[in-house]
A and B are shown apart, each in its own frame.
Chain A
Amino acid sequence: MTVERLLHILRLRWLSLFRRNQVDRDLDDELRFHVEAETARLVAAGQDPESAADTAYRSLHGLERTAEQCRDTRGVAWAETLVQDLRYGARTLARNPGFTLAATVTLALGIGANTAVFTLLDGIVFAPLPFPDDSRLVSLQATYPAGGLVALREQLKTLDAASYATAKHVTLGAPGGAVRVSSVKTSAELFTVLGVRPAIGRVFRSGEDRAPGGRIAVLSHRSWVARFGADPTIVGRSVLVDGTAREIVGVMPPEFGFPASAVELWLPLTVDAGDTVAYWAGDFMPIVGRLRPGVDISQAQAEARLFQARIGERFPWRMPEDWNKDLTVIPLQQALVGDVTPRLMLLSIAVALVLVIACANVANLSLTKTAARAREIGIRSALGAGPRRIARQLLTESALLGLLGGIAGALVAVQMLSLLKIVLPPDTPRLMEVQLNWRVLAFTAAIALGAGCLFGLAPVLQAMRLRLRDTLDSAGRGAAASVGAPARAALTIAQIAGAVVLVIAAGLLVRSLWILTSADPGFRPDAVVTARVAPAATTCATAERCLVNYQQLVTSASAMPGIRDAALVNTLPLTGEVAKRSLQLEGFVPEPSKSAPLFWLHAITPRYFDVMGARLEAGRAFTDADVSGHARVAVVTATTARRYWPRESALGKQLRFVGENEWRTIVGVVGDLRAYDLTRPEPEWIDGTIYVPFNVTATLEDGAIPTQMTLVARGSGTSALSVAALGTTAQRAGGDLMVSDIRPMSAIVAERSAAPSATAALLVSMAVMALVLGSVGVYGVLSFLVSRRTRDLGVRMALGATPKDVFLLVIGEGARLCVAGIALGVAGALALTRWLQSELHGVSATDPATYALVVLVVALVTLAACYVPTRRAMAVDPLVALRDS
């Protein structure tokens, strides 16, 4: 096609679309000219003027038709009809404000909820990590101690590995005062592996994580701004971190927060090959890596597995056989968001169901409208509109409605997203990064149009079957309307089924939540206040000084007004922190393939169990004499006692720390505290829990006593009073100890149930929405059925049917729909058990009691929705009904 021709064609199209009047006038002129010229010719040939004009006119076989055909050649017909359809559709929607409003609101809810959840899914699961070339970043689903990491870096050729320890809170000496911040110790190469450059200064260099280790730190951007006032001279400044002076060597860019956005400080690890215990049995750390060029993930996995098979030999002791057994290498993004993906998938399924129900509702409404427009469609058909033309017009109308719903839905989505951000637990990975973006808008638009076409199909299919005769014939009113009945019944059944699935899911989640929060945590968190305590610079230079200070703190705290008892513990329940220690137990020989039992070590002061409200099941708790006298005693939990001494009392049994010579005697057995999370007293990799008195003998793996403790205090007054009072008094009494993070224990417990609470709340609201929509659907369809059978009912009543008979008849129709819907819904819920089970605690996804209850509730609700139409049916006056036909 030449440019000349293209321009010519475009010009004509443009004229046809935007100068339509001019073009039409030209066409008119042209045809009139023809008629005149032909008339002139015929007259010149001898015909009389009048008949000549007549013949000339007729030669065109209908001026209007010829003109119409000429217009059809313009190639813009589709655009013209589209505009026409849109205008007409808009007018029709405006004429039925009730329908339009109901449909738009229903769609807005469905589309808005879907968009909000998809935005979450997009921002958390699908969006690439904010690191360069992030597809090359992987995570080894395995953990290694420092020694393992060093060996990994030496031996693996397929990737560059780096690692980081668990985030811990440290005391940072900021200009505004000492403050507790989240900090992570990382291997020197972590930043390089991730590929992130600092905003100011530098990151760690290779080798800075080897003992004695650089006294350096990297600051997060947020911390730099908030705590150091964005001081431009920060690089090179020395700050106190847990009493040690460190030089700030760099500040990270604003968006960087690894492994969580709460981290404010990065410190280098201190890897010391000479310290065997720390080197081979210290923190087991996750490994991230960057694939080297030309390598793919399966090669990396193969090499890593080979490495894992041989690394066991390097350990000074036997490692358990199942350690890092099924080592897999997965993309880093998957590893970071893996936990939250099932929950998001559950939400997605739920909102998808809501959307389906919403569309079904709108489809039902549309069907009613189409049936009412039967006459109009019949007339259009008579005027020459083919079935495709009518179908196109109805579809355009539906698409318009879908678009309206989409726009309203986008507004709902924005609101719902901000709500979700508040309601979801704050440690949901990447939650704060989530924003509405163009992909999401495109998705909304697609849903809107898709929904429009989906529920537009229903009236279209019905309209196509409307025949001219049927619709213009007044007696055919019944016949035409009856065409829609099976479709509407199917839609209503689908709605009820969807509602049933959602209500079952919501019910199960609520039950699970209830079990979770009402489960006995093994202690009484009410009236307990907690505070983190950390030593200042030299307070814990010697163990004795450390203990003296801490003892003073406990004594002062116990003496405070409003406090009944105070105690110290090294790891507070439900904070996720675990202190591990390997033990040897009397009379217990571990299996050859397993290592010595690994216990969770708690160092406590004597009043701890009283403060926490834990139950002593046998024996006694510690006394001050145990503490000061360095008695070698211990208390274990009931589960631990049962596990290792199942048929006898654990009292009097002996155990000792690996690496020590002295044996300890068990003097007490305490009831399990749900210390790890709301459902478990300890993580799977821990074999038992042990409590020892907090004195010089309470050594951790590194041989030193714990220096960071948590103060717990049980108040006799209101907890609000205790929090404030504890703060000031403890600061004063603490002396060389820093007290921070004062929080009631109940808040910590509530935090742990935040995620399941949020999920349950969301699902409940969706279930309510679905139930409401479903009832409206049932009501609508039954009204429709009743109205179409008015004549039929009138006849029945005239022939002697009692109101009761009518009642049973109509209720029977409604009941049939309900039963079918409920059955389908239960089947659907059973099919979805897989997604649900991961969210449930203590209740099975196929719990019969919940299912039965839900079936009952839904049945009642839907039958209630049948009530009004049934009453109307019973009130039908046979005379009126018969006369109306």
Chain B
Amino acid sequence: MSRPQDLVQGTLDLLLLKILALEPMNGHAISQRLKQVSGAVLQVSDGSLYPALHKLEQQGWVTATWKVTENNRRAKFYALSRAGRQQLDRESEAWTRLSTAITQVVNLGNARG
């Protein structure tokens, strides 16, 4: 198994916000979705997922509710808040700018070569 790539805390926030933008879900489901969507490239260790989720909640970008699942278990479901939606837009924009800039630098030599 390859070593999971450690993501910068900031981009993890962006990913989580985006996933929650689609629909509310609990931590386990978020972890699965992340692996699914990114084709198993982004392997976020669950040990850093939950602290990140809690930080987002403490900052008010996501809200949490407790629901009872089919198996009669209490589970914590996260959903994007209104402020969180705005934060998501801001972070996506920032990411796009950053990645464009990096791509440009990386492709520097290629145009000539």
Contact = CB atoms under 8 A, between A and B. Distances in A.
B53 to A, nearest CB: 8
Given A26-B76, A29-B74, A75 B51 contact: no
B63 A33 contact: no
Given A59-B47, A70-B54, A73-B55, A33 B73 contact: yes
A62 to B, nearest CB: 7
Contact of A33 (B28, B47, B59, B60): B28
Given A8-B60, A30-B76, A2 B83 contact: yes
B81 interface: yes
Given A2-B82, A34-B27, A73-B55, A8 B46 contact: no
Given A9-B58, A29-B74, A59-B45, A70 B83 contact: no
Given A26-B66, A73-B51, A73-B58, 12 more contacts: A4-B83, A5-B83, A12-B58, A33-B26, A34-B28, A60-B47, A60-B50, A61-B45, A61-B47, A66-B51, A73-B54, A73-B55
Contacts of B28: 33-34, 37-38
A8 B78 CA distance: 14
A725 B63 CA distance: 95
Interface string B19-43: 0000000111101100000000000
B30 to A, nearest CB: 10
A34 B83 contact: no
B57 interface: yes
B81 A5 contact: yes
B68 to A, nearest CB: 11
A31 B50 contact: yes
Interface in A309-328: none
A74 B83 CA distance: 19
B7 interface: no
21 contacts: A1-B83, A4-B83, A8-B63, A9-B58, A9-B60, A12-B57, A26-B66, A29-B76, A30-B50, A33-B26, A33-B27, A33-B28, A34-B27, A34-B50, A37-B28, A41-B32, A59-B45, A60-B46, A60-B50, A69-B48, A69-B50
A72 interface: yes
B75 interface: yes
Nearest to B66: A26
A33 B46 contact: no
Nearest to B84: A5
Contacts of A36: 73
A33 B76 contact: yes
B14 to A, nearest CB: 17
A65 interface: yes
How many of chain B's residues touch chain A, expressed as a range?
A: 20 to 34
Interface in A33-69: 33-34, 36-38, 41, 59-62, 65-66, 69
Nearest to A40: B71
A70 B74 contact: no
Interface in B70-104: 73-76, 81-83
Interface of A: 1-2, 4-6, 8-9, 12, 26, 29-31, 33-34, 36-38, 41, 59-62, 65-66, 69-70, 72-75
B85 to A, nearest CB: 12
Nearest to A29: B74
B113 to A, nearest CB: 43
A542 B55 CA distance: 100
A34 B46 contact: yes
B91 to A, nearest CB: 16
A74 B53 CA distance: 11
B46 A61 contact: yes
A8 B58 CA distance: 8
Contacts of A75: 58
A70 B49 CA distance: 10
B60 A66 contact: no
Contacts of A5: 60, 81, 83
A59 B54 contact: no
Contacts of A37: 26, 28-29
A27 to B, nearest CB: 8
A508 to B, nearest CB: 64
Contacts of B59: 9
B47 A62 contact: yes
Interface centre among B54, B66, B73 (most CB of A within 10 A): B54
A5 B87 CA distance: 12
Contacts of A38: 28, 46
A8 B26 contact: no
Nearest to B29: A37
B63 A69 contact: no
A885 B76 CA distance: 59
A36 B63 CA distance: 23
A5 B86 CA distance: 12
Contacts of B51: 66, 69-70, 72-73
Nearest to B63: A8
Contacts of A59: 45-47
A330 B50 CA distance: 69
Contacts of A70: 50-51, 54
Nearest to A2: B83
A362 to B, nearest CB: 40
A1 B87 CA distance: 11
B51 to A, nearest CB: 4
Given A33-B76, A37-B28, A66 B83 contact: no
Contacts of B57: 12
Nearest to B87: A5
Contacts of A73: 51, 54-55, 58
Contacts of A41: 32
Contacts of B76: 26, 29-30, 33
Given A36-B73, A70-B54, A73-B54, A4 B47 contact: no
Interface string B100-111: 000000000000
Interface centre among A1, A6, A8, A36 (most CB of B within 10 A): A8
A78 to B, nearest CB: 14
Nearest to A27: B54
Contact of B82 (A4, A26, A33, A65): A4
B33 to A, nearest CB: 13
Contacts of B29: 37
B58 A33 contact: no
A4 B63 CA distance: 11
A9 B60 CA distance: 6
A66 B58 contact: no
Contacts of B54: 70, 73-74
A276 B54 CA distance: 93
A61 B32 CA distance: 17
Nearest to A7: B60
Contacts of A74: 54, 58
Contacts of B55: 73
A37 B75 CA distance: 10
B66 to A, nearest CB: 7
Given A2-B83, A69-B51, A30 B75 contact: yes
A60 B51 CA distance: 11
Nearest to B61: A5
A11 to B, nearest CB: 10
A30 B81 contact: no
A8 B81 contact: yes
A51 to B, nearest CB: 15
